[in-house]
Amino acid sequence: MSTPSKELVRDLAAHVDPWSTAPFDSPTVQTLQRLVPQLTAHQRIWLSGYLAGSVAAAVAVPAAPTAASTPASDPIVTVLFGSQSGNCERLAAQVGEALSKRGVPHVVLDMLDCRKSHLQEARNLLVVVSTHGEGEPPDRAAALHELLHSRKAPPLKHLKYSVLALGDTSYERFCETGKQFDARLAALGAEQLHARVDCDVDYEHNAREWIDAVVAKLASEHAAVPAQLHTASEPTLAPVATAYTRKNPFLAPVLVNQRLTTRDSEKDVRHIELSLEGSGIHYEPGDAIGVVVRNPVDRVDALLATLPYGPETPISHEGSQQPLREVLHSCDIGLVTRTFADKYFERIGQPERAASINVAARVQLSELLREHPPQALGAEDFVRLLRPLAPRLYSIASSARATPDEVHLTVGLVHFELNGTGHFGVASKQFAEMEGDDAVAPIYLHRNPNFRLPTDPDLPIVMIGPGTGVAPFRGFIAEREAQSARGKNWLFFGERHFRTDFLYQAEWLDYRKRGVLHRIELAFSRDQKDKIYVQHRMREHGRELYDWLQQGAHVYVCGDAQHMASDVQDALLQILQEHGGHSAERAAEELLELQRVRRYQRDVY
């Protein structure tokens, strides 16, 4: 046998991917592959020291089986998450950490990567899943949801499970996906380990309780680490690593607040630039910024006028006594939810009236209170019925490499008429009014690991983002230019009118001229008699789009979840059928596979 030449060995070494043997699952490899090249030499040395130190600390603990700390070959617990914006993924990771601490062998799995065999082999299943739109599962949960509800679903008599459901009580079908998983697992014979917990937008407290409860139960039955290693007071969850959160936001100075649409446009869309200087916030393209919202004074005053309590009435709120007026600034006092209506009428002793409230007709809270005053209900009890005002998430429209210490957002001012009265979206109005030298925005970083550029910068990308859905693609293009990425970039953008609503027109044309943006397709829906949307342009260029897919393109969709996202998906399926010669079924499988390998990613809501 001849020995390979030095050149061949060098050649092979250059082509052997060191990550191929890394002891991580593929999402973790992708995260590391993204992170490591961004670190300076100094940061890498610090990190390796930190990791070595933490391993040393771990081995100093009396010898204990360590199956839980690495994906076990025979995990006792399978933590399954179905995440859209990353919250369920983060919670699943926290469950994993808590199980590790208690020495319980486990594996954390994205629903998109979950096959039938995983369910057949699992013994204890912890499901963390959110619900979207009108009761839909997250994109990455759809295939498993369908499998479980089909005739191909496996019998699950061997399985114990519990579900943590995330949702939003302002939707009729609150936590619907979590409820469906719960019911379906039970119908397939699985035994409930712990009752399902449904969480509203302010999910942290309930989620923490569920995690503590399920982990304690599993640890008492299956812990591989001797129980005496853990004190009763040890917190199950690791402390939050990021400095700024929704409860402790960074006050980012507003550098630019510029209208992108013309004065005579029907829409008011703003380009906002915020300073991150001194915050230590490091974001990646695809991430979002959470903006902590506060009700404006006129909205709080309007509500107070309908209440029998004085504005200074003391309320115990988040550990201190605060005047009612102040507390109402941070409560959801806009539209009535089903949950609120049911609880409110029960508390004022008129439960039969709840059914008369049609929340789908967008009933304002002040309107309801005027007609049905909260007699015999104390101020504090009334406040307890309100939800905290949820922060708003905006996709980041910049690249930290291109504009360090800044983050840019694209904010559409929400305005709607209700019974002849004009209403504004609290968050977007807050932004629209942020002008002047002292203006600051209370923000925090919201990571979105499911919306990421390809790790290989040579791969082409296709970006479909009508309206403000174009925001993350401004960040993507800036990043690709800053990376000197050689992959081609193709943008599909749509809005109502070319003249008034072409968001970032000058920038796109400049990118195009400089060869950074290779193609741009435009769909101005109302510039002609018949509507033209981005999916029409996709179909027109279906052949080339298919060719780009064959070249390994990653496809991204951002914007409206209600109609656009599914219409665009239909167009993609049609292109796969027409130009790939596939049956409808095969095209659906292809698209699912693209999603699985993170080549088809959506940020839609």
Least CB distance from residue 319 to ligand NAP, whole Å? 33
Please tell me the distance from the alpha carbon of residue 472 to that of residue 446, in angstroms, as a whole number. 13
Span from 20-28, 104-112, 525-533, 583-591 in contact with ligand NAP (CB under 6 A): 525-533
Backbone φ, ψ for residue 71 (5° rounding): -55, 115
Residue 513's CB: how many other CB atoms inside 10 A? 9
Nearer to ligand NAP, 182 or 332 (CB): 332
Which one of 533, 548, 556, 600 is in contact with ligand NAP (CB under 6 A)?
533
Residue 527 interacting with ligand NAP (CB under 6 A): no
Closest approach, Cβ 288 to ligand NAP, in A, equals 7
471 binds ligand NAP (CB under 6 A): yes
Torsional class of 175: left (φ above 0), alpha (ψ -120 to 50), beta (otherwise): left
User: Is there binding between residue 136 and ligand NAP (CB under 6 A)?
Assistant: no
290 binding ligand NAP? (CB under 6 A): no
Nearer to ligand NAP, 383 or 471 (CB): 471
Q: How many CA atoms lie within 13 A of 228 on its CB side?
A: 2
Measured CA distances, 389 to 173, 201, 331, 332 (Å): 20, 9, 5, 4
Contacting ligand NAP (CB under 6 A), which of 30, 468, 569, 595? Answer: 468
Is 525 a residue that touches ligand NAP (CB under 6 A)? yes
Q: Which is nearer to ligand NAP, 103 or 559 (CB)?
A: 559
Token pair recorded at residue 333:
């006092």
- Among residues 219 and 523, whose Cβ is nearest to ligand NAP? 523
137 binds ligand NAP (CB under 6 A): no
Q: Which ranges in 60-115 belong to alpha helices (H)?
A: 87-101
Per-residue mark of binding to ligand NAP, 484-523 (x: CB under 6 A): ----------xxx---------------------------
Contact with ligand NAP (CB under 6 A): which of 463, 559, 587, 602?
A: 559
Sequence-distant (≥ 6) Cβ neighbours of residue 20 within 8 angstroms: none
Residue 430 beta carbon to ligand NAP: minimum distance, rounded to whole angstroms: 14
Shortest gap between Cβ of 557 and ligand NAP (angstroms)? 10
Count of residues engaged in binding ligand NAP, rule: CB under 6 A? 25
**Residues shown for the chain:** 605
In the bound state with ligand NAP, the residue whose beta carbon lies nearer, of 468 and 577, is 468
The verdict on 475 binding ligand NAP (CB under 6 A) reads no
Sign of CA dihedral 396, 131, 496, 542: positive
Token pair for residue 4?
């390979």
Note whether 81 binds ligand NAP by CB under 6 A.
no
Which tokens in the block code for residue 584? 């409808």
Task: List CB contacts of 460: < 8 A, sequence separation 6 or more.
Answer: 487, 488, 489, 490, 548, 551, 552, 553, 554
List own/partner pairs for 397-401 with CB under 8 A and 24 or more apart: 397/271, 397/471, 397/472, 397/474, 397/475, 398/273, 398/474, 398/475, 398/478, 399/285, 399/475, 399/476, 399/478, 399/479, 399/482, 400/282, 400/283, 400/284, 401/478, 401/479, 401/482, 401/483
Residue 286 sits in the site that holds ligand NAP (CB under 6 A): no
Segment interacting with ligand NAP, rule: CB under 6 A, options 63-71, 143-151, 416-424, 467-475: 467-475
Q: Does 564 contact ligand NAP by CB under 6 A?
A: yes
Site for ligand NAP in 370-399 (CB under 6 A): 394-395
Candidates 8-16, 56-64, 306-314, 466-474: pick the segment binding ligand NAP (CB under 6 A): 466-474
Please give the Cα distance from 597 to 591 (Å, whole number).
10
In this structure, the dihedral spanned by the alpha carbons of residues 589, 594, 596 and 602, taken in order and rounded to 10 degrees, is -110
Contact set for ligand NAP, span 402-461 (CB under 6 A): 412
Percentage helix, strand, coil for the chain under 3-state DSSP, each rounded to 5: 40, 20, 40
- In the bound state, the residue with its beta carbon closest to ligand NAP is 467
Nearer to ligand NAP, 340 or 492 (CB): 492
Minimum distance between the CB of residue 554 and ligand NAP, rounded to whole angstroms? 17
Least CB distance from residue 534 to ligand NAP, whole Å? 5
* Minimum distance, C-beta of residue 418 to ligand NAP, in the bound complex (Å): 18
Handedness of CA 408, 485, 46, 18 (dihedral sign): positive
Taking the C-alpha atoms of residue 268 and residue 605, their distance in angstroms, rounded to an integer, is: 19
Residue with the two structure tokens 């030449």: 5
| Residue 171 binds to ligand NAP (criterion: CB under 6 A) | no
Q: Nearest CA to 349 among 328, 373, 321?
A: 373
- Smallest distance, ligand NAP to C-beta of residue 258, A: 16
10 versus 563: smaller Cβ distance to ligand NAP: 563
CA distance 411 to 308: 37
How far is it, in rounded angstroms, from Cα 308 to Cα 298?
18
- Least Å distance, CB 242 to ligand NAP, is 21
Q: Which is nearer to ligand NAP, 317 or 496 (CB)?
A: 496
Site string for ligand NAP, 328-357 (x = CB under 6 A): ------------------------------
Beta strands in 450-593 (DSSP E): 461-464, 489-495, 519-524, 554-559
Q: Give the interface with ligand NAP as residue ranges (CB under 6 A).
A: 394-395, 412, 466-469, 471, 494-496, 525-526, 531, 533-535, 558-560, 563-564, 567, 603, 605
